[in-house]
Amino acid sequence: MKRNSITILLVAVLVLISCNNTNTSKNASVTTKAEKELIFDRGNKIDSPNFTGDAWLNNLITPEDENRNAVGSVTFSPGSRTSWHSHPAGQIILALNGIGYYQEKGKPVEIIRKGEVVKCPHNIPHWHGASPDSEFIQVAITGRENGPTVWMEPVTDEEYDGYNKD
Amino acid sequence: MKRNSITILLVAVLVLISCNNTNTSKNASVTTKAEKELIFDRGNKIDSPNFTGDAWLNNLITPEDENRNAVGSVTFSPGSRTSWHSHPAGQIILALNGIGYYQEKGKPVEIIRKGEVVKCPHNIPHWHGASPDSEFIQVAITGRENGPTVWMEPVTDEEYDGYNKD
């Protein structure tokens, strides 16, 4: 009987192992699916002194005489952000994925999450980017009718870390 | 021995059943995760003579004196669509999910897929909606600086089916 008990135990363990393998492959396929949930390609890596860290831009709509809005998808790697800047005709930010930071001059840093929307007023210095531990993907709608973006100084680590200190 | 073999078989079957239950619950949770991949809530069902079929609107940005853009997420059920209409300051459509239709007056119906972008010129009559077999989710960016949308006649089934006849 003892040997039979051991056999029963062995069979049970073997079947369980096979189940766990199945689950692992299921989880793997889920990860792949989640990756495919990205809507826009991340575009080209931004090579600009107005960004700190790695970010990518996919220009979706280029403004022209009739349509004055620029629309672009920006992907911020964790910790990356814009410099301080302002938009003469404001900007609308649609958070598509991840967790981002947004701050207007003189106000605390705000967290922006997937599905949230931010409206930057005209000519208000602000910055936005990813949180330290998560990529952030946004669509930015920027009115160009009053002229181009006005770029200012980079966001220091102290300013960026301000959120955690609040 | 025969009875022991039956016991072994029973244990194996019982463990397998428990595994299948685990997988089912995993799949259920996966479905929930997939549903959560939607970025914006679908908002409120549209009750308007300017739409055919069921559609939902989530107003993301309301235009005001400073920001003249309206931004909204629209979810079209399969087969549903807007009436013919035009925008005095044009419109930008960002396809977030599903498969949609877009047609400008006098041109063939175009298919819009997730990740694609459409720019509707000023004052050009057009319509958009879902394809017959797939829901379509779009973000519409509509300039209000030249006045409200001009609504026209509904899109007939013959016009809607035009794509398949081309």
Q: How confident is the model at residue A31 (pLDDT cuts 50, 70, 90)?
A: very low
CA angle at residue B125 from B122 to B129, to 5 degrees? 110
Q: How confident is the model at residue A17 (pLDDT cuts 50, 70, 90)?
A: very low
Touching check for B4 and chain A: CB below 8 Å?
A: yes
More confident residue, A5 or A105: A105
**Nearest CB to A141 within list B37, B69, B114:** B69
Are residues A41 and A58 in contact, defined by beta-carbon separation less than 8 angstroms?
yes
Question: Is the per-residue pLDDT at B27 higher than 50?
Answer: no
Question: Is the per-residue pLDDT at A137 higher than 70?
Answer: yes
Instruction: Tally C-beta pairs within 8 A across A and B.
Output: 101
> Is the ipTM, as predicted for this complex, more than 0.85?
no
Are residues B79 and B53 in contact, defined by beta-carbon separation less than 8 angstroms?
yes
pLDDT at position B15, please?
Answer: 45
pLDDT at position B65, please?
Answer: 85
Question: Is the per-residue pLDDT at A90 higher than 60?
Answer: yes
pLDDT at position B162, please?
Answer: 83
pLDDT at position A32, please?
Answer: 39
Q: How confident is the model at residue A40 (pLDDT cuts 50, 70, 90)?
A: very high
Question: Is the per-residue pLDDT at B42 higher than 60?
Answer: yes
How many whole angstroms separate alpha carbon A68 and alpha carbon A143? 6
Count the Cβ atoms, other than its own, within 10 Å of residue B118: 19
Question: Is the per-residue pLDDT at A29 higher than 80?
Answer: no
Touching check for A17 and chain B: CB below 8 Å?
A: no
Q: Please report, rounded to a whole number, the percentage of residues in chain B having pLDDT higher than 70.
A: 75
Kindly determine whether residue A115 and residue B61, on different chains, have CB atoms separated by under 8 Å: no
Kindly determine whether residue A61 and residue B30, on different chains, have CB atoms separated by under 8 Å: no
Q: How far off is chain B from A94, nearest CA to CA, in Å?
A: 9
Touching check for A124 and chain B: CB below 8 Å?
A: no
The SS3 assignment for B100 reads strand
Q: Please report, rounded to a whole number, the percentage of residues in chain A having pLDDT higher than 90.
A: 70
Kindly determine whether residue A60 and residue B117, on different chains, have CB atoms separated by under 8 Å: yes
Q: How confident is the model at residue A122 (pLDDT cuts 50, 70, 90)?
A: very high
Phi, psi of A44 (to 5 degrees): -100, 145
How many whole angstroms separate alpha carbon B163 and alpha carbon B116? 18
Chain B hits for A141, Cβ within 8 Å:
69, 71, 141
pLDDT at position B8, please?
Answer: 55
Chain B hits for A3, Cβ within 8 Å:
none
How many whole angstroms separate alpha carbon B25 and alpha carbon B20? 9
How many whole angstroms separate alpha carbon B146 and alpha carbon A79? 40
Are residues B57 and B43 in contact, defined by beta-carbon separation less than 8 angstroms?
yes
Question: Is the per-residue pLDDT at B13 higher than 90?
Answer: no
pLDDT at position B138, please?
Answer: 98
Question: Is the per-residue pLDDT at A110 higher than 70?
Answer: yes
The DSSP secondary structure of chain A, one letter per residue, reads -HHHHHHHHHHHHHHHHHHHHHHHHHHHHHHHHHHTT--S---EEP--TTEES-EEEEEEE---SS--EEEEEEEEPTT-EEPSEE-TT-EEEEEEEEEEEEEETTS--EEEETT-EEEEPTT--EEEEEBTTB-EEEEEEEE-TT-S-EE-PPPPHHHHTHHHH-
Question: Is the per-residue pLDDT at B55 higher than 90?
Answer: yes
Among A27-36, A62-71, B44-53, the minimum mean pLDDT is found in A27-36
Question: Is the per-residue pLDDT at A6 higher than 90?
Answer: no
Which residue is associated with the tokens 């998808």?
A: A73
pLDDT at position A66, please?
Answer: 86
Q: How confident is the model at residue B21 (pLDDT cuts 50, 70, 90)?
A: very low
Q: How far off is chain B from A158, nearest CA to CA, in Å?
A: 31
* Residue A156 in tokens: 């220091």
The mean pLDDT of B107-118, rounded to a whole number, is 96
Which of A24, A25, A37 is most worth mutating to test chain B (most B CB atoms within 10 A of its CB)?
A: A37
How many whole angstroms separate alpha carbon A58 and alpha carbon A69? 15
Q: How confident is the model at residue B9 (pLDDT cuts 50, 70, 90)?
A: low
Kindly determine whether residue A117 and residue B90, on different chains, have CB atoms separated by under 8 Å: no
pLDDT at position B89, please?
Answer: 94
Residue type, B92: I
Mean pLDDT, chain B, rounded, equals 84
H helical segments located in B59-137: none
Dihedral (C-alpha) B101, B103, B108, B109: value to the nearest 10 degrees? 10
What pTM did the predictor assign? Answer: 0.78
Phi, psi of A17 (to 5 degrees): -60, -45
Kindly determine whether residue B12 and residue A7, on different chains, have CB atoms separated by under 8 Å: no
Return the closest-CA partner of residue A142 out of A84, A75, A69: A69
